């Protein structure tokens, strides 16, 4: 039996009060790192150990599946025994579980399929085209947002008022037809998962009664990010008797775009009776410097409940800013710093690289690779681990080295060329007996005429094709070789034939691989030892693909988007790409509400760091094939100068109020951001920003030789190139 004392010694006074509350409903509203998740975990242990509640009666909702697993472990640790029977998961995983168990009642086929966001998008496009509507007018992404928005609010197509106007009645028609498609095909999208589950319970009183009877204690982490339907789901399960505890932080609400409403956390007291509210104000996670920076940024948001955190921790290191010349410079800086940190004896998994958009991971990956630093990308496969990429690389590896049996096995029948298991076994056996490679075995078997006719012809075709690639391509020119491989092996066609939603991503990835081949520069060291560009490229890739480090226990640097970093903490954090238009995101620049959400996201990012925080930006970046000048993110200027050590560049040098003012219509407006210019002394550069008015107009230019300068437009006499 656990002593409840052991539980409580690890909590402060406010946390203890929340954990041991006797109120039926409780709300913990507190800032980042103040121990909200800890309170939730201890509350579960408390309910089991001190109040004797059965694990079966616990339903805990977390933000990620990883967090769910962690929560389970923590409870087990605290209790010294596994607490089987608890339901801990995300809203989606819990919904999916209910739908799977009760698919009949939910009107779903047994093997219903989940539509991810890309699948959904393609289906919506199809519906739009079936209805003979113009995609320019009915933009699929917008329609997708509309449908999901309605689902998140719990509203079906037939429940929307169309007010008799064409626009809404068409949207309703698309929504309805899309749902019909899903119903016929047994398909279910993410928003639908929650909506269907809610309806499942609502329409089946015995089922609802069963679950209401079961889950006596319901706990929800990150409550600030619940949307209408999630909030209704909890309310439904809570019924009149069950106990509900929710924890959250209004400053960390980052899912408004998915229908989350801060109002739910504020309105919690109105929806439930007997609510006690608890405040936690001590932060245990971060140094004072990091905490002050976070407070300084979030303070610029108008709509806040308002709370300040304090910490007993040391002041700690200053926050490092790095203004890179380009995205390459940025990634190189990050990889180098990461290496330094690891060299100082820190395990890689203590380091997180956080970015606004998924696509930013690619260059970071490339540079980590160069330094041989193991890493893991969350929410997406590492680039070179994707199936289509591995397929192409298997061919290229075989071209480079006929003894590469792993490559051979992978593609001998991909795309299918009629070589069945029997032939492949013959090849394997022959290779083993004679201790030769699979490729060499194939040649021998053809020569010896021991294979069935069709198999022999097909295998010969394969062998000749590989030899042919080898003879016809210069090993220093990767792009033509890769291009030829993708086409001639039939891989492009092969992927084109996949369902459209998958095919597009795969083809995009193949193009990205071609990009990588084209821009690859052989390192000097490899050149000196006589490696071909091809061999050098493959060496780098296989280091990365992890075949050498099959050891799963290697600590990996953690790469993820800011959104998926919520709730996590790391001793070392790099926030990258802090540029106007990237973070804050382009879509939010003119919308105060959205800008505030971006700022909350920045607050989330900063408060992930325990000891050391790096914030980087690039003054030029290639976006969608064009190199553009970029201005540093305004969030960087919101952190007081005295908390910052700027390693390169200087965001504080830039006039604060003018820097982001793009509304310049003076005689200098032809110096648009992104325009190439030339200066008598500084040479060539790119305009980053225009600020000020009339004669006082200033131009910020990134010069290739002299870095960033701010010049008075009137005197600079810049020549547009």
Which residue ranges make up the site for ligand ATP (CB under 6 A)?
10-12, 15, 30, 32-38, 249, 252, 284-285, 567, 569, 607
Least distance between ligand ATP and beta carbon 267 (Å) = 20
252 a catalytic residue: yes
The nearest distance, CB 72 to ligand ATP, in angstroms, is: 15
CB-based burial label for 587 (10 Å; 0-12, 13-18, 19+) = exposed
Which one of 15, 37, 64, 426 is the catalytic residue?
Answer: 37
Burial of 298 from C-beta contacts in 10 A (0-12 / 13-18 / 19+): buried
Question: Segment near Mg ion (CB under 5 A), from 103-111, 339-347, 443-451, 560-568?
Answer: 560-568
Find the catalytic residue in 62, 252, 426, 561: 252
Reported as type and span, the H/E element at residue 634 is helix 634-638
Which one, 225 or 391, has the nearer CB to ligand ATP?
225
Q: Report which of 593, 690, 643, 680 is spatially closest to residue 292, judged by C-alpha positions.
A: 643
Nearest CA-CA partner of 354 in 584, 614, 636, 68:
614
Measure the CA–CA gap between 395 and 252, rounded to whole angstroms.
Answer: 47
285 binds, options Mg ion, ligand ATP, none, Cβ within 5 to 8 A by partner type: ligand ATP
Report how far residue 128's alpha carbon sits from residue 144's, in angstroms, rounded to the nearest whole number: 11
CB of 34 to ligand ATP, least distance (A): 4
Q: Which does 546 bind (CB under 5 to 8 A by kind): Mg ion, ligand ATP, none?
A: none
- Catalytic residue status for 719: no
Q: Least separation, in Å, of the C-beta of 379 and ligand ATP?
A: 18
Peptide bond into 527 cis (omega under 30): no
CB closer to ligand ATP, 30 vs 58? 30
Give the active site residue among 189, 192, 221, 579: 221
Structure token digits, residue 167: 């626009």
34 binds, among Mg ion, ligand ATP, none (CB under 5 to 8 A by kind): ligand ATP
Specify whether 221 is catalytic: yes
- Burial state string for 647-659 with b = 16 or more CB within 10 A and e = fewer than 16: ebbebeebeeebb
Name the binder of 12 from Mg ion, ligand ATP, none, CB < 5-8 A by kind: ligand ATP
Q: Find all residues with CB under 8 Å of 82, minimum gap 6, and list them.
A: 76
Which tokens go with 27? 């709300």
State the virtual CA torsion across 591, 595, 597, 601 in degrees, nearest 10.
150
| For ligand ATP, the closer CB: 10 or 425 | 10
What's the rounded Cα separation, in Å, for the pair 633 and 583?
A: 6
DSSP 663-676: ---STTTTS-TT-E
- State which of positions 83-102 bind Mg ion (CB under 5 A): none
For residues 187 and 115, what is the distance between their CA atoms, to the nearest angstrom?
6
- Which of ligand ATP, Mg ion, none is residue 619 near (CB under 5 to 8 Å by kind)? none
Q: Are 721 and 685 in contact (CB under 8 A)?
A: no
In the complex with ligand ATP, the residue whose CB is nearer, 37 or 561, is: 37
Contacts made by residues 541-549, CB under 8 angstroms, sequence distance 24+: 541/384, 541/393, 542/397, 543/369, 543/372, 544/365, 544/369, 544/382, 544/384, 545/382, 545/384, 545/385, 545/390, 545/393, 546/374, 546/382, 546/385, 547/406, 549/374
In whole angstroms, how close is the CB of 12 to ligand ATP at the nearest point? 5
CB of 39 to ligand ATP, least distance (A): 7
Of 89 and 567, CB closest to Mg ion: 567
DSSP letter at 504?
A: H
**Residue 689 bridge partners (DSSP):** 700
Q: Among 139-147, 235-243, 276-284, 559-567, which window interacts with Mg ion (CB under 5 A)?
A: 559-567
Measured from the CB atom, the residue of 249 and 702 that comes closer to Mg ion is 249
Tell me which residue has its CB nearest to Mg ion: 37
Based on the residue annotation, tell me whether 222 is a catalytic residue of this protein.
yes
Q: How far is the CB of 34 from Mg ion (least distance, A)?
A: 9
CB of 553 to Mg ion, least distance (A): 26
Q: Which partner, Mg ion, ligand ATP, none, binds residue 35 by CB below 5 to 8 Å per kind?
A: ligand ATP
In the complex with ligand ATP, which residue's Cβ is closer, 40 or 191?
40
* Nearer to Mg ion among residue 567 and residue 581 (C-beta): 567
Edge-to-edge strand ranges of the sheet holding 698-703: 707-712, 698-703, 683-691, 676-679, 719-720
Q: What are phi and psi of 2, to 5 degrees?
A: -80, 135
Partners of 205 in the beta sheet?
Answer: none
Exposed / middle / buried, residue 208 (Cβ in 10 Å: 0-12, 13-18, 19+)? middle
User: Does the annotation mark 37 as catalytic?
Assistant: yes
3-state secondary structure of 206: helix
Shorter beta-carbon distance to ligand ATP: residue 220 or 541? 220
Q: How far is the CB of 360 from ligand ATP (least distance, A)?
A: 22
- Mark 561-600 with x for binding to Mg ion (rule: CB under 5 A) and - for no binding: ------x---------------------------------
Token representation of residue 438: 């699979």
What span, in angstroms and rounded, lies between the C-alpha atoms of 70 and 52?
22
Tell me which of 16, 21, 36, 598 is the catalytic residue. 36
Q: Residues 24-63: x/- map of binding to Mg ion (CB under 5 A)?
A: ------------xx--------------------------
Q: How far is the CB of 607 from Mg ion (least distance, A)?
A: 10
Output 261 or 285, the one with its CB closest to ligand ATP.
285
Backbone angles phi, psi at 702, to 5 degrees: -100, 105
Catalytic residue of the set 261, 566, 608, 612: 608
Residues that bind Mg ion (CB under 5 A): 36-37, 567
Active site residues: 36-37, 221-222, 252, 608
């Amino acid at each position: 039996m656990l002593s409840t004392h052991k539980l409580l010694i690890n909590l402060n006074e406010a946390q203890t009060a929340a954990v041991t509350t006797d109120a039926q409903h409780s709300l913990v509203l507190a800032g980042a790192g103040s121990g909200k998740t800890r309170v939730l975990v201890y509350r579960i242990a408390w309910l089991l150990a001190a109040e004797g509640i059965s694990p079966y009666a616990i339903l805990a909702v977390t933000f990620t599946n990883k967090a769910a697993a962690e929560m389970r472990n923590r409870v087990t640790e605290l209790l010294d025994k596994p607490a089987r029977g608890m339901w801990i998961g995300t809203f989606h995983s819990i919904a999916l579980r209910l739908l799977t168990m009760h698919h009949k009642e939910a009107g779903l086929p047994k093997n219903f399929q989940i539509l991810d966001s890309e699948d959904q998008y393609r289906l919506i496009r199809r519906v739009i085209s079936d209805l003979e509507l113009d995609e320019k007018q009915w933009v699929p992404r917008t329609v997708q947002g509309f449908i999901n928005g309605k689902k998140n609010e719990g509203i079906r197509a037939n429940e929307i008022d169309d007010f008799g106007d064409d626009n809404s009645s068409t949207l309703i028609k698309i929504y309805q037809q899309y749902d019909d498609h899903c119903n016929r095909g047994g398909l279910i999208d993410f928003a639908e998962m929650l909506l269907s589950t809610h309806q499942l319970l609502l329409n089946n009183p015995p089922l609802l009664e069963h679950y209401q009877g079961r889950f006596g204690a319901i706990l929800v982490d990150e409550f600030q990010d619940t949307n209408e339907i999630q909030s209704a789901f909890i309310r439904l399960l809570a019924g009149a008797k069950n106990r509900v505890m929710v924890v959250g932080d209004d400053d960390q609400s980052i899912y408004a775009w998915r229908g989350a409403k801060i109002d739910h956390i504020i309105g919690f007291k109105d929806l439930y009776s007997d609510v006690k509210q608890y405040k936690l104000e001590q932060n245990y996670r971060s140094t004072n410097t990091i905490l002050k920076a976070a407070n300084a940024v979030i303070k610029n948001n108008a709509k806040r409940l308002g709370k300040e955190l304090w910490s007993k921790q040391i002041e700690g290191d200053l926050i490092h800013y790095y203004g890179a010349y380009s995205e390459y410079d940025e990634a190189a800086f990050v990889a180098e710093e990461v290496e330094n940190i690891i060299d100082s004896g820190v395990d890689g998994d203590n380091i997180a690289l956080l970015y606004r958009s998924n696509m930013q991971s690619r260059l970071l990956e490339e540079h980590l690779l160069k330094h041989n630093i193991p890493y893991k990308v969350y929410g997406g496969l590492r680039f070179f681990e994707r199936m289509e990429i591995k397929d192409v690389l298997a061919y290229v590896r075989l071209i480079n080295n006929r003894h590469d049996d792993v490559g051979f096995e992978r593609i001998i029948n991909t795309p299918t060329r009629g070589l069945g298991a029997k032939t492949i076994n013959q090849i394997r056996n022959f290779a083993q007996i004679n201790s030769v490679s699979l490729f060499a075995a194939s040649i021998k078997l053809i020569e010896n005429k021991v294979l069935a006719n069709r198999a022999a012809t097909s295998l010969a075709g394969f062998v000749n094709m590989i030899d042919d690639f080898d003879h016809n391509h210069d090993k220093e020119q990767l792009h033509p070789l890769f291009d030829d491989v993708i086409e001639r092996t039939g891989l492009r066609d092969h992927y084109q034939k996949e369902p459209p939603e998958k095919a597009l991503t795969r083809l995009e990835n193949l193009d990205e691989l071609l990009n990588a081949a084209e821009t690859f520069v052989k390192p000097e060291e490899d050149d000196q030892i006589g490696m071909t560009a091809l061999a050098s490229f493959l060496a780098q890739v296989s280091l990365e693909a992890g075949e050498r480090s099959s050891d799963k226990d290697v600590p990996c640097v953690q790469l993820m988007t800011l959104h998926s970093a919520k709730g996590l903490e790391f001793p070392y954090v790099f926030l990258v790409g802090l540029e106007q238009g990237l973070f804050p995101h382009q879509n939010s620049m003119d919308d105060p509400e959205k800008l505030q959400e971006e700022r909350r996201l920045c607050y989330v990012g900063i408060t992930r760091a325990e000891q050391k925080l790096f914030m980087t930006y690039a003054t030029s970046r290639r976006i969608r094939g064009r190199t553009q000048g970029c201005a540093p993110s305004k969030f960087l200027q919101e952190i007081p100068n005295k908390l910052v050590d700027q390693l390169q560049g200087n965001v504080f040098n830039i006039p604060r109020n003018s820097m982001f003012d793009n509304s310049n219509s003076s005689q200098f407006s032809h110096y648009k951001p992104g325009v190439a210019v030339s200066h008598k002394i500084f040479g060539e550069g790119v305009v980053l920003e225009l600020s000020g008015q009339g004669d006082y107009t200033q131009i910020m230019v990134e010069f290739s030789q002299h870095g960033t300068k701010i010049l008075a437009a009137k005197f600079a006499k810049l020549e547009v190139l």
